[in-house]
Amino acid sequence: MLDRARPIALLVGRIAIGVVFVVHGWQKFTTMGLDGTTAFFESLGIPLAGVAAPGVAVLEVVGGIAFILGAGLPVFGSLLALNMVGAIMFLHAANGFAVDKGGYEFVLTLAAGSLAVAFSGGGALAADSLWRRRRVSVPASASLA
């Protein structure tokens, strides 16, 4: 039973985390705008805010989409987790744990979830596992032809 449920649970978790990142990244482009995001990053003391702001926005959108698709999970999961560690260090840690006080509870959960999914294989319908299966199913003699 558990073995049959695991791929679906990972699919649901992967999509949920991916959607959260896409929305947060999209907000940096639309709601705040890159200029507003850069100014916010500067106010936090983030080094190279003019590079970091668009980089984070792109990472969150592209990484979120990759999570939804289950593509490049180890790479994007690690990068998204590091992104959340940066958010903890520069913004949330000073506010304590509780999310209702601006603490790091939510971003820590995103970081941990990103890593868990990144190294899980991604579950059902993950592009990474589909590509892996396709490579494994090609007979060795076919690759020599």
Residue range 1-12, pLDDT digits in tens: 888 999 999 999
Could you tell me the two tokens for 87? 């958010």
Alpha helices, DSSP H, located in 30-92: 33-44, 49-69, 73-87
Distance in angstroms (rounded) separating the CA atoms of residues 110 and 84: 7
Q: Is 133's pLDDT higher than 70? A: no
Question: Could you read off the pLDDT of 62-104 as tens digits, one per residue?
Answer: 999 999 999 999 999 999 999 999 999 999 999 999 999 999 9
Q: What is the pLDDT of residue 95?
A: 98
Decide: helix, strand or coil at residue 22: helix
pTM over 0.85: yes
pLDDT digits (tens, 9 = 90+) for 11-59: 999 999 999 999 999 999 999 999 999 999 999 999 999 999 999 999 9
Q: Pick the residue with more confidence: 144 or 88?
A: 88
